[in-house]
Every structure is written in structure tokens, then in C-alpha cells.
Amino acid sequence: MSDGTALAGPDGALRCPWALSTADYVTYHDEEWGRPVHGDEALFERLSLEAFQSGLSWITILRRRAGFRAAFADFKIDAVAAFTDEDRNRLLADAGIIRNRAKIDATLANARVLAGWSPGELDELIWSHAPDAATRAVPKTLADVPAVTDESTALSKALKKRGLRFVGPTTAYALMQACGLVDDHLAACVSRGAV
């Protein structure tokens, strides 16, 4: 049982303890989580997947990511914005994704909103909420990692004000962690400061 500090992985390197429960998590932790993500469509994908994760474990989403990409046209904003009622019904019947009506509807609605934005606008809005790394304490244990911050609350408000759905402060903070706006790898973690 972990006390929330970094633990040795299969290769002996110390990692955040959440990353060690499955090989899928080790790969995601080492290669993606906390590394900067830029580009409107890449951020739309991550924002959508974080919304689908709400109330579920991330591994559920991670293992279905290929299904999500296939179902949502690789998260190409204009393509998803053009989805019809027939596409919505297809999504509701697709066992390769999470068939949650509210989350599917939010993803489609968000794509329609984003289709009206200028190129780079989503990237700029999200990254404008990245906190100054020098002002953040380096977490030593999982207990030191917040679920919500002032910045994630502000990001959530900004996204909602612009018409996006399923973007609460906790989802916004998970997005910030996943996309490298914050580095919440623990102090002793091999991935801390790797970017």
C-alpha cells in the first residue's frame, strides 16, 4: 500500500503511484501525461476525453481512446461539428466509447461552438490559464496534488462563458495536468521536469 509517494516501477525508476497499476498507465504516464499539448484539435480531443472521464476512471477512457477517435472523426472539429442526428444515434449505440447521452451531446455542441472560433483560439485560451511554474509547490505525495485550483476555476469559467459544456473546474484541472499546463509529477518521479 502506497503512502502517496513515488514508487519504483517495473524498470526500477520511481514514478507517481497511480501510474503503476497497469502497463497502459505506465506508458501514458511516461510518454503523455504532463507533456505540453498544443493545437486546437489535439486540445479538443483531450477536453472531450476528460469530460467523458468524469465519474469514471481514466483507464476506462484510455483503453477506449482508439474507439473514441474512430467514432469522433479523430476529433477534427469541423467534421464533428457537422455530425447529424444519425451520427448522434450511431454514437449512442457505439460500444467502443462511453455511451453517455449528455457527454455525447456536449462533445457535439462543443465542436459546433469551436468551429466558429479562429484557428489557434482554443489553444491560446487554454494556455493563457497556465500558472507560473515558479509559484507552484512541487508535490511530494499525491495528497499534495489539488483537484481544483484558482486557474482551473478561471479556465472553466472562460470556457463556459464562450459556450462550452462539461468543462467544470475539476475537468479543467485534469486537462491542465494531462496537457502540461502544470507539472504534477511527484518530486521523486522520473518524469518530473522531463519536458
Give pairs for 65-70: CB < 8 Å, separation 24+.
66/96, 67/94, 67/96, 67/97, 68/96, 68/97, 69/45, 70/96
Would you please indicate which residues are annotated as catalytic (active-site) residues?
28, 50, 58
pTM metric for this prediction: 0.95
Q: According to the model, what pLDDT value does residue 193 have? A: 84
Cell numbers standing for residue 5: 509517494
Listed as ranges, residues in the chain with pLDDT below 50 are 1
Q: According to the model, what pLDDT value does residue 4 have? A: 85
State the number of CA atoms in the 13 A half-sphere of 138 facing the CB: 13
